[in-house]
């Protein structure tokens, strides 16, 4: 998929664990893990907004478009 999810990078920069982000954003660990590993097919804007607020970042810090698909 040409969309790369850099959620783990932002979490590391903010020194935030998956558990902590899950609590702040009110998303289950399993759904957050699916997003973090890039296996999610979609994300709601409200969820993206909550994640950006919790991590104090912009959507582009989390999501990236790559013209070359990584396999």
**pLDDT per position as a tens digit, 15-28:** 999 999 999 999 99
Number of domains in the chain: 1
pTM beyond 0.85, yes or no = yes
Does 60 have pLDDT greater than 80?
A: yes
Cβ proximity of 68 and 4 under 8 Å? no
Distances, alpha carbon 31 to alpha carbons 5, 44, 67, 68, 70, in Å? 14, 12, 26, 26, 22
CATH of the domain at 48: 1.10.260.40
Q: Range of 52's domain?
A: 3-56
Report the pLDDT value the prediction gives residue 56, as an integer from 0 to 100.
97
For residue 50, being part of any structural domain is answered with yes
Report the pLDDT value the prediction gives residue 69, as an integer from 0 to 100.
57
For residue 64, being part of any structural domain is answered with no
């Amino acid at each position: 998929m040409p969309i790369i999810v850099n959620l783990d990078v932002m979490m590391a920069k903010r020194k935030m664990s998956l558990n902590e982000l899950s609590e702040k954003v009110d998303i289950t660990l399993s759904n957050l893990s699916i997003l973090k590993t890039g296996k999610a097919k979609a994300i709601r804007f409200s969820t993206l907004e909550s994640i950006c607020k919790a991590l104090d970042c912009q959507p582009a810090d989390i999501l990236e478009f790559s013209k070359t698909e990584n396999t």
